């Protein structure tokens, strides 16, 4: 009784962990679990304890990206309690992120709250969203260590540590931007992966436009301030360059006429832009970007300094805004996990997206990769791959639960069914000025339909509008597009 009372008290203190509603009591289901819980109490770690017989099994999902959000959406909450642990409480619709940087879309139009994706986290008594980061995992004890996320401002709560016990654990924590160890990238460049990145780009861009109008500024300084450099010629870099050039031609030249001749965009790529697209589409994109005023430079960045970067041929490129978009790789957290790794350094998984050598642990999305022993190819870090993996794993876990294998170390494991197979549906990218590319080939070597131009732009917008998660955000996106068409982009710096 004394131990149970102590545990209930600890659980009450756990309310400091950011959640939508209060946590349930940590009720140990065995003497061993109770002893472990008492040890945790002595160390001052409150949290969510293991589920007991007769309760729903608990699935803990780390991350709210494409993979984690699709998993959350499709999990059967009649048989599972869902706990989502992530440093952000929303999913970002990344294909439209570049459009928010220049005001084509508003930021909230592409952010989908977790509670709307999976209502159970705000309504079900055993399901939660926790605004926190996972800092470690104990596969033997079926627990994870977490630390709450704060804004780092005054009068906010100090970060608090706690533990969460799981029956099934899913890593969907994404990846980080690759810098290739180039000095100065992290300090001076802005990545384009999150809403706050887009907000920073927009603020910096508008600030530079206004500062360039200040009397007494030299011609050289004006040209530097208004030089926007994009590093990386993949879909994100090309789409951002296209949006930026469209913004310059339609809005800047009308509203900042004093500096319209100084602003320019440079796109730097080591090889070819859009290397995964059909060669004809690559050429179309190149021609379209050049026609829009984008300068294409083939080279490798060797050093990034506060106001300029240096290429491998020694050329110095001054900039006022530097956006870095050169792909993604495994995060330090993923690298630190005691799990086997795929050839690219991500969490290694088998054909059923399970992490071998540990029970009840799975990994999906950009943080995962097939182990070399599976003989499967490395999958690209694409939204459609991550979403498909989330959908597949939700189906697998739902079958497992219905077969009686939902709880930790359950003896009644369901047949996992067929392994995960990825089929590429094609690629799309916009290049500005109401032009886009649609490549429906299943691979670089295969044949298929390839389109470019205004019709492709309509397909691009229609496809992504239907993929936006909620009807609310679909409405917002459509209204934003219409407003931009009729009245131009908002240039307020807020």
pLDDT in tens, 475-492: 999 999 999 999 988 887
> Under a CB-based contact definition with an 8 Å cutoff, are residues 465 and 480 in contact?
no
Q: Highest-confidence range of 20-24, 204-208, 372-376, by mean pLDDT?
A: 204-208
Q: Are 364 and 354 in contact (CB under 8 A)?
A: no
Give the C-alpha separation, 348 to 341, whole Å.
4
Q: Is the pLDDT of residue 315 over 80?
A: yes
* CATH code of the domain occupying 178-323+425-487: 3.50.50.100
Domain with CATH 3.50.50.100 in the chain: 2-95+112-175+330-402, 178-323+425-487
- At residue 33, the pLDDT reads 46
DSSP states along 98-151: HHHHTTSS-GGGGEEEHHHH-THHHHSTT-EEEEEEEEEEETTTTEEEEEE---
Mean of the per-residue pLDDT values of the chain: 88
28, pLDDT greater than 90: no
Query: Nearest to residue 311, comparing CAs of 301, 324, 319?
Result: 301
How does residue 16 score in pLDDT terms, banded at 50, 70 and 90? very low
Q: Which residues are paired to 92 by β-bridges?
A: 111
Return the closest-CA partner of residue 479 out of 92, 109, 95.
Answer: 109
234 by Cβ neighbours in 10 Å (0-12 / 13-18 / 19+) ranks as middle
DSSP-derived secondary structure letter, 252: I
Tokens for 233, please give them.
Answer: 């010629």
Position 36 confidence tier, pLDDT thresholds 50, 70, 90? low
Q: What is the band of 258 on the pLDDT scale with cuts at 50, 70, 90?
A: confident
**Which range, of 11-15, 148-152, 153-157, averages the lowest pLDDT?**
11-15
CB 391 within 8 A of CB 383: no
What are 435-476's pLDDT values in tens digits? 999 999 887 777 888 999 999 999 999 999 999 999 999 999
Q: b or e along 13-52 (b: 16 or more beta carbons within 10 Å of the residue's beta carbon)?
A: ebeebbbbeebeebbbeeeebbebbbebbeeebbbbbbbe
Structurally, at CATH architecture level, domain 2-95+112-175+330-402 sits in 3-Layer(bba) Sandwich (3.50)
**Position of tokens 């913004």?**
247
What is the pTM (predicted TM-score) of this model? 0.87
Token code pair at residue 1: 């009784």
């Amino acid at each position: 009784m004394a131990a149970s009372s102590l545990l209930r008290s600890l659980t009450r203190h756990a309310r400091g962990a950011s959640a939508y509603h209060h946590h349930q009591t940590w009720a140990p289901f065995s003497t061993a679990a109770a002893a472990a819980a008492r040890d945790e109490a002595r160390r001052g770690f409150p949290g969510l304890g293991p589920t007991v017989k007769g309760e729903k099994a608990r699935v803990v999902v780390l991350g709210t990206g494409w993979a984690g959000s699709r998993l959350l959406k499709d999990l059967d909450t009649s048989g599972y309690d869902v706990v989502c642990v992530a440093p952000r409480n929303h999913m970002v619709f990344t294909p439209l992120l570049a459009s928010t940087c220049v005001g084509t879309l508003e930021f909230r139009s592409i952010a989908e709250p977790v509670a709307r994706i999976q209502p159970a986290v705000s309504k079900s008594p055993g399901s939660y969203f926790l605004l926190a980061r996972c800092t470690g995992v104990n596969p033997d004890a079926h627990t994870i260590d977490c630390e709450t996320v704060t804004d780092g401002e005054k009068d906010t709560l100090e970060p608090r540590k706690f533990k969460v016990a799981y029956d099934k654990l899913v890593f969907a924590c994404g990846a980080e931007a690759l810098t290739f160890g180039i000095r100065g990238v992290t300090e001076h460049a802005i990545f384009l992966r999150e809403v706050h990145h887009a907000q920073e780009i927009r603020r910096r861009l508008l600030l530079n436009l206004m500062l360039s109008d200040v009397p007494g500024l030299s011609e050289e300084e004006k040209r530097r301030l208004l030089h926007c450099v994009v590093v990386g010629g993949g879909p994100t870099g090309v789409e951002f360059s296209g949006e930026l050039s469209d913004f310059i031609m339609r809005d800047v030249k009308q509203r900042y006429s004093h500096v319209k001749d100084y602003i320019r965009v440079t796109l730097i790529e080591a090889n070819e832009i859009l290397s995964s697209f059909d060669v004809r589409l690559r050429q179309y994109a190149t021609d379209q970007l050049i026609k829009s005023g984008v300068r294409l430079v083939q080279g490798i960045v060797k050093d990034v300094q506060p106001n300029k970067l240096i290429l491998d041929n020694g050329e110095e490129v001054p900039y006022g805004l530097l956006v870095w978009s050169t792909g993604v790789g495994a995060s330090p957290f993923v690298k630190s996990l005691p799990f086997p790794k795929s050839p690219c350094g991500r969490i290694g998984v088998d054909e059923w997206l399970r992490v071998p050598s540990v029970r009840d642990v799975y990994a999906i999305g950009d943080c995962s990769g097939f182990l070399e022993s599976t003989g499967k190819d490395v999958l690209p870090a694409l939204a459609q791959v991550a979403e498909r993996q989330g959908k597949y794993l939700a189906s697998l876990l739902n079958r497992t639960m219905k077969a009686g294998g939902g709880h930790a170390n359950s003896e009644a494991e369901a047949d996992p069914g067929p392994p995960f197979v990825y089929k590429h549906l094609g690629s799309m990218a916009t290049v500005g000025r109401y032009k886009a590319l649609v490549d429906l080939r299943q691979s670089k070597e295969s044949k298929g339909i390839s389109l470019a131009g205004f019709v492709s732009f309509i397909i691009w917008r229609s496809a992504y509008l239907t993929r936006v998660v909620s009807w609310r955000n679909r409405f917002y996106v459509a209204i934003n597009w219409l407003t931009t068409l009729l009245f131009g982009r908002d240039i307020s710096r807020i």
